[in-house]
């Protein structure tokens, strides 16, 4: 199939979101930024788990500057689309939420998966960022990534007490 866009040339940034909570969060974060347009893919009344994008949705995704989706079983179509249609743009956002059913190492494994996925898309480590709701969790994720040979640079990793090598020297 194919599609075309009637979108006029613009100078701003377009962000396309697949679900309302992400759309709402991004809209709030971008409030007051006149050059950013946040778009929610239209839900045709189907549930999130059975949603399949229409051609116009795929055109919207292709035309946007940033495409944000949650992934997982309910958005397998989005993961498949991104995999088969690599962006020619410079950005990539990978969002994951933890539920009560997720195991203890879920966040760490998902962070490592996200970094490795970004590597396959030819992103450099210095262009990646992992955000979490607490400094403690970020520190734990950084330690996990480091233990898997992923170089980590963050405000916490720059602290002397965060360096195992420095702590070894200080304790001897």
> Which pTM was predicted?
0.57
**Residues 64, 68, 73, 78: what is their CA dihedral angle, to the nearest 10 degrees?**
10
Q: How far apart are the first and last CA of the chain?
A: 67
Instruction: Indicate whether 69 pLDDT > 50.
Output: yes
Look up residue 13 and give its two tokens.
Answer: 């940034």
- Alpha-carbon distance of 171 to 54, in angstroms, equals 61
Instruction: Indicate whether 148 pLDDT > 90.
Output: yes
Within a 10 A sphere around the Cβ of 29, how many other Cβ atoms?
A: 12
For residue 131, what are the contacts with CB-CB under 8 A and spacing of at least 6? 138
Strands 13-17 and 66-68: parallel
Q: What confidence tens digit (pLDDT) does each residue in 82-109 have?
A: 878 766 665 666 666 667 677 778 888 8
Q: What confidence tens digit (pLDDT) does each residue in 37-56 have?
A: 999 986 656 666 667 888 88
């Amino acid at each position: 199939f194919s599609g075309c866009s009637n979108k006029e040339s613009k100078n701003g940034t377009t962000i396309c979101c697949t679900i309302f909570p992400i759309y709402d969060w991004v809209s709030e974060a971008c409030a007051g930024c006149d050059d950013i347009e946040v778009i929610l893919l239209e839900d045709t009344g189907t549930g999130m788990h059975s949603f399949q994008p229409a051609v116009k949705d795929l055109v919207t995704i292709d035309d946007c500057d940033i495409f944000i989706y949650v992934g997982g079983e309910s958005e397998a179509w989005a993961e498949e689309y991104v995999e088969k249609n690599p962006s020619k743009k410079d950005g990539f956002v990978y969002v994951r939420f933890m539920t009560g059913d997720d195991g203890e190492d879920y966040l760490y494994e998902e962070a490592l998966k996200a970094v490795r996925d970004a590597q396959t898309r030819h992103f450099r480590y210095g262009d990646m960022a992992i955000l979490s709701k607490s400094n403690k969790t970020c520190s734990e994720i950084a330690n996990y990534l480091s233990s898997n040979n992923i170089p980590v640079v963050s405000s916490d990793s720059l602290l002397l007490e965060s360096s195992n090598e420095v702590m070894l020297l200080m304790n001897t």
